[in-house]
């Protein structure tokens, strides 16, 4: 008996030592008996009880549901947990737990199965820890990484925008120079055609005058012969046809010269150096200018319908907005082309309106449309749905930057695949400074 008593004392001392050791650690430790309908808590250390807001005595002998009902995922993870334990696998999970007092913390748990000699699952040992600080640290680290990525993307966007701006400035100077060079020969052509039309008018008057002069001659055989010769020459040289068609040719030539002059003027306006300052501008005129400059992009694929309402002068950087309008028009033309439409079926609509203190511009097309999953990425730098060599992914990113960041405006988009896309631009009439002050 004494030997048995001594053994019991030794066992109690060992268990007490185990409990003391486990109670001194901050790690959570729980042993459960796997019985139906729910596992029962046989043991838990002090850290586990304290962290959940219980006295240890309140947990011993109770269902594990007393603790797991406090977790956010319960009971979703139980089928997976039971399957893992029966298969002899360790089950790991993280979850948010609500304490008795309503405060919350995150727990990370690893649960291992224990089998008897017959291979039956009898117990489970759970080892865990408070991972709130670890998750918060990971969250902050992720936020820093995300912020770093955003800053890098913004730097790349600004660098590309600067490069594009410099390129556009160079192209603008070149276009302005070419426009100036074209103006001189066009003026020569205009003056020469004007002279030719005036000379032809004089020639017509001369031709109209020979008939009375011929009739005034004596009625002699020579006059009859002269009439016949003149009639023959008129027929041979198609004089009547020339007198009818040459004036029409002059009109077409003057129309063509006027068209070239209009395009040259539009090029000079579009390519005007961008000072960066905001000043009142006519948005309707800017849109018409951009349509002329971009006509080669859409004239074979779509007809353009415009509905311009009367707008007050809008304080803006018109050079930047010209780039916005050009980007959207080119995108619309490409979308219509990708949809397989031509001049008979393709359509681009542009409208302007005044809405309170904002000027609203709508640019829509009946092209291929944008998939819903791509809409949120349209303004991301380098994102493009176009094939390599046709798009850089910078057009809409720069459009967003010019409109929102530089003008205090807004841009919205609606699109349906196979139906088309509409961009809605809003600009404060009084300019960015007035919008910021408000």
393 pLDDT tier (thresholds 50, 70, 90): very low
Mean pLDDT, rounded, of the chain: 80
Instruction: Tally Cβ neighbours within 10 Å of residue 162.
Output: 10
Q: Which residue has the higher pLDDT, 228 or 291?
A: 291
Task: State residue 136 phi and psi, 5-degree precision.
Answer: -65, -40
Most confident of 78-87, 343-352, 424-433: 343-352
What local confidence, expressed as pLDDT, does residue 268 receive? 64
Q: Does domain 2-130 fall into CATH 1.10.579.10?
A: no
Of 403, 404, 408, give the one whose Cα is nearest residue 436.
408
Has residue 28 got a pLDDT over 70? yes
> Can you give the pLDDT at residue 428?
92
**Residue written as tokens 């694929």?**
301
What does the pLDDT average to over 361-387? 75
Which residue would you say has higher pLDDT here, 204 or 136?
A: 136
Q: Evaluate whether 79 touches 109 at the Cβ level (below 8 Å).
A: no
Q: State residue 126 phi and psi, 5-degree precision.
A: -110, 130
Task: Taking residues 218-241, report their average pLDDT.
Answer: 76
Lowest mean pLDDT among 8-17, 36-45, 379-388: 379-388
- Is residue 23 predicted with pLDDT exceeding 70? no
- The band of 195, judged by pLDDT with boundaries at 50, 70 and 90, is confident
pLDDT higher than 50, residue 392? no
How do residues 124-135 score in pLDDT, each as one tens digit? 999 989 888 888
pLDDT given at position 169: 56
> 0.85 exceeded by the pTM?
no
Per-domain boundaries in the chain: 2-130, 153-273, 275-438
Residues 6+ apart with CB under 8 A from 129: 26, 27, 28, 107, 108
Higher pLDDT residue, 308 or 269?
308
pLDDT over 60 at 309, yes or no: yes
- The DSSP secondary structure of 369-433, one letter per residue, reads ---HHHHTTTTSTT---SPTTT--S-HHHHHHIIIIITTS-EEEEEEETTTEEEEEEEEETT-HH
pLDDT of residue 323: 81
Q: Would you state the pLDDT for residue 155?
A: 79
Looking at per-residue confidence, does 226 or 119 come out higher? 119
What's the CA angle centered on 126, arms 124 and 132, to 5 degrees?
160
Q: Is the pLDDT of residue 360 over 90?
A: yes
pLDDT in tens, 138-188: 889 999 998 888 888 777 767 766 666 555 555 555 566 666 667 777 777
What percent of the chain has pLDDT above 70?
A: 77
- Intra-chain end-to-end CA distance of the chain, in Å: 92
Confidence of residue 308 (pLDDT cuts 50, 70, 90): very high
Q: Which phi and psi (to 5°) does residue 259 adopt?
A: -65, -45
Q: Looking at the predicted structure, is the pLDDT value of residue 388 above 50?
A: no
Tell me which CATH code domain 275-438 carries. 3.30.565.10
């Amino acid at each position: 008996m004494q030997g048995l008593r001594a053994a019991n004392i030794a066992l109690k001392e060992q268990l007490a030592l185990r409990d003391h050791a486990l109670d001194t650690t901050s790690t959570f430790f729980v042993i459960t008996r796997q019985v139906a309908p729910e596992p029962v808590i046989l043991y838990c250390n002090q850290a586990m009880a304290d962290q959940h807001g219980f006295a240890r005595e309140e947990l011993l002998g109770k269902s594990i549901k007393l603790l797991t009902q406090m977790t956010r995922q319960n009971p979703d993870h139980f089928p997976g947990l039971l399957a893992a334990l029966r298969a002899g696998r360790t089950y790991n999970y993280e979850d948010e737990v609500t304490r008795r007092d309503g405060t919350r913390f995150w727990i990370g748990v690893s649960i291992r199965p224990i089998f008897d000699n017959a291979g039956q699952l009898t117990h489970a040992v759970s080892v865990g820890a408070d991972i709130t600080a670890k998750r918060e640290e990971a969250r902050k680290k992720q936020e820093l990484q995300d912020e770093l990525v955003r800053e890098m993307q913004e730097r790349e966007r600004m660098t590309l925008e600067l490069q594009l701006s410099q390129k556009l400035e160079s192209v603008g100077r070149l276009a302005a120079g070419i426009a100036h060079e074209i103006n001189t020969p066009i003026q020569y052509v205009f003056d020469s055609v004007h002279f030719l039309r005036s000379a032809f008018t004089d020639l017509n008057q001369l031709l109209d005058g020979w008939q009375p002069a011929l009739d005034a001659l004596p009625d002699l055989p020579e006059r009859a012969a002269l009439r016949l010769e003149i009639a023959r020459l008129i027929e041979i040289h198609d004089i009547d046809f020339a007198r009818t068609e040459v004036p029409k040719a002059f009109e077409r030539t003057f129309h063509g010269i006027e068209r070239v002059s209009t395009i040259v003027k539009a090029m000079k306006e579009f390519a005007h150096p961008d000072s960066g300052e905001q000043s009142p501008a006519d948005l309707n005129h800017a849109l018409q200018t951009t349509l002329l400059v971009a006509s080669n992009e859409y004239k074979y694929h779509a007809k353009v319908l415009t509905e311009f309402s009367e707008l007050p002068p809008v304080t803006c950087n018109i050079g930047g907005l010209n780039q916005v309008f050009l980007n959207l028009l080119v995108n619309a033309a490409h979308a219509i082309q990708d949809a397989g439409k031509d001049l008979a079926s393709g359509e681009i609509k542009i409208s302007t309106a005044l809405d309170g203190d904002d000027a609203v511009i709508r640019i829509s097309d009946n092209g291929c449309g944008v998939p819903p999953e791509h809409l949120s990425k349209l303004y991301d730098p380098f994102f493009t749905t176009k094939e390599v060599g046709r798009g850089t992914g910078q057009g809409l990113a720069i459009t967003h930057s010019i409109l929102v960041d530089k003008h205090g405006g807004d841009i919205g988009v609606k699109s349906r695949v196979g139906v088309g896309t509409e961009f809605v631009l809003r600009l404060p009439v009084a300019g960015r400074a007035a919008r910021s002050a408000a």
